[in-house]
Amino acid sequence: MNALARDVRLHVYDRLIDTTAAPTTAETARALGVAEPDVEAAFRALADARMLVLRPGTTTVWMAMPFSNVQTPFTVVSGGRSYYANCAWDAFGVAAVLGADARVFTTCADCGGAIERKIANGALTDVRGVVHFALPVRRWWEDVGFT
């Protein structure tokens, strides 16, 4: 990974953590003091390396794992901010990346009931329940366009 791609990736994560939203290529170019076409190329290179997922046909960040840049059924609340995760596994990953206590909210896929799990001092405070992954990770990656 070249220096610009590294700086772009760090900026994307810094913005996601600070604001809960990924920056645009224009915002990133301004923040880093580089040309927007260079940032667009860096976004594409990061997507090709599976370090970001872009909305199809755009340079808009869709996912910067474990964060989602769009609303999902997996909300992580920490430090007074609400973040979205791509799945249950990523919701716990968001809390780990933040390195802070968090609450994870979602719904049961079976009954539709509300689920909340708390993470304090890096550990789940309630370990009831089961997380089910309907697709193996490899299949999920194939379904979102990565092979």
pTM flag (> 0.75) = yes
Give me the residue spans of the domains in the chain. 3-64, 74-138
User: Do the Cβ atoms of 145 and 56 come closer than 8 Å?
Assistant: yes
Q: Give the whole-angstrom CA distance, residue 73 versus residue 36.
A: 32
Q: List pLDDT tens digits, range 85-142.
A: 998 889 999 999 999 999 999 998 889 999 999 999 988 898 877 776 666 666 655 6
- Phi, psi dihedral angles at 121 (to 5 degrees): 55, 35
Half-sphere exposure at residue 37, Cβ-oriented, CA atoms within 13 angstroms: 0
Fold of 74-138: Bactericidal permeability-increasing protein; domain 1 (3.15.10)
Rounded CA-CA distance 87/98 in Å is 17
| CATH number of the domain located at residue range(s) 3-64 in this protein | 1.10.10.10
Q: Which two tokens stand for residue 29?
A: 């170019």
